[in-house]
């Protein structure tokens, strides 16, 4: 959760990789690709060995085209796909390019497969469960999903709702540890707070988003280009 001026950093958090703990129920297809939907087909998983299931799951690692679930937030002609699906007009959504960075089985207790996956933003674990069932010829749907990490933010470092306090808040820069950082002197800091670009004293070859700091304080996120640092999101205050 981002609060205060740190909410401006959401655009840099959302695209980061996500890690999930998931359970797929093999042998049953549903119209939503998860346990909330209506069952469409049921098949026996008696012929599936642990080795075959694990090998099929490993095949999802890497870049690929993934068809999003019909019951999803994807826009079709200006309307959410799930709204169309609930009116009986479930569209066949086009595939989207996703990356499964890591995927590993944890337990095969037929008909349930527990696994962990680290994926690019926009990847549907429901779709992985569905497609796994298709590859194995028995169908499948997702029954459990828990997000364990977003980039470097991990669930074990979280606090419960009743533990949320000012003291529990992490520095805003904590959510941007995946970006290179540049230290500002007081003159450059003052310029950045007014939205002005400053010279990149580090290297003229640097490009892309960088974090601008003064000590431990996050001042801004800037775009590095052609030897300049142009602020895109200013978080610090005068």
* 62: containing domain: 17-150
Q: CB neighbours (10 Å) of residue 19? A: 18
pLDDT (average), residues 210-230: 91
Cα-based angle 70, 76, 81 (whole degrees, multiple of 5): 30
Round to whole Å and give the CA distance between 147 and 21. 6
Same domain, 140 and 50: yes
Cα 179 to chain centroid distance, Å, stands at 16
pLDDT (average), residues 24-42: 94
Whether residue 131 is contained in a domain is answered as yes
Whether residue 202 is contained in a domain is answered as yes
State which H helix or E strand residue 53 sits in.
Answer: helix 50-58
Model pLDDT, residue 207: 82
Whether residue 102 is contained in a domain is answered as yes
Assign 231 to helix, strand or coil: strand
Same domain, 102 and 188: no
CATH number of the domain enclosing 83: 3.30.2350.10
**pTM (2 d.p.):** 0.83
Whether residue 166 is contained in a domain is answered as no
pLDDT digits (tens, 9 = 90+) for 65-109: 998 887 665 555 555 555 555 655 566 666 789 999 999 999 999
Model pLDDT, residue 226: 86
Same domain, 135 and 189: no
Give the range with max mean pLDDT: 80-84, 91-95, 203-207, 227-231: 227-231
Assign 52 to helix, strand or coil: helix
pLDDT digits (tens, 9 = 90+) for 128-172: 999 999 999 999 999 999 999 999 899 999 999 899 898 998 899
Cα 163 to chain centroid distance, Å, stands at 25
Round to whole Å and give the CA distance between 84 and 32. 13
């Amino acid at each position: 959760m981002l609060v205060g001026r740190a909410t401006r950093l959401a655009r840099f958090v959302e695209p980061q990789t996500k890690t999930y703990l998931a359970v797929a129920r093999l042998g049953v297809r549903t119209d939503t690709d998860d346990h909330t939907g209506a069952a469409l087909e049921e098949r026996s998983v008696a012929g599936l060995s642990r080795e075959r299931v694990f090998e099929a799951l490993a095949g999802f690692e890497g870049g690929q085209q993934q068809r999003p679930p019909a019951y999803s937030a994807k826009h079709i002609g200006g309307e959410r796909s799930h709204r169309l699906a609930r009116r009986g007009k479930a569209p066949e959504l086009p595939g989207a390019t996703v990356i499964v960075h890591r995927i590993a089985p944890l337990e095969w207790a037929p008909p349930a497969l527990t696994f962990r996956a680290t994926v690019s933003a926009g990847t549907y674990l429901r779709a992985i469960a569905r497609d796994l069932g298709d590859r194995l010829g028995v169908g499948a749907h997702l029954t459990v999903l828990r997000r364990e990490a977003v980039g470097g933010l991990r669930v074990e470092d979280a606090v419960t709702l009743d533990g949320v306090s000012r003291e529990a808040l992490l520095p805003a820069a904590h959510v941007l540890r995946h970006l290179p950082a540049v230290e500002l002197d007081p003159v450059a800091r003052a310029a950045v707070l007014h939205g002005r670009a400053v010279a990149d004293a580090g290297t003229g070859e640097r490009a892309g988003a960088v974090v601008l700091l003064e000590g431990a304080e996050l001042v801004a996120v800037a775009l590095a280009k052609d030897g300049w640092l142009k602020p895109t999101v200013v978080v610090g205050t005068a």
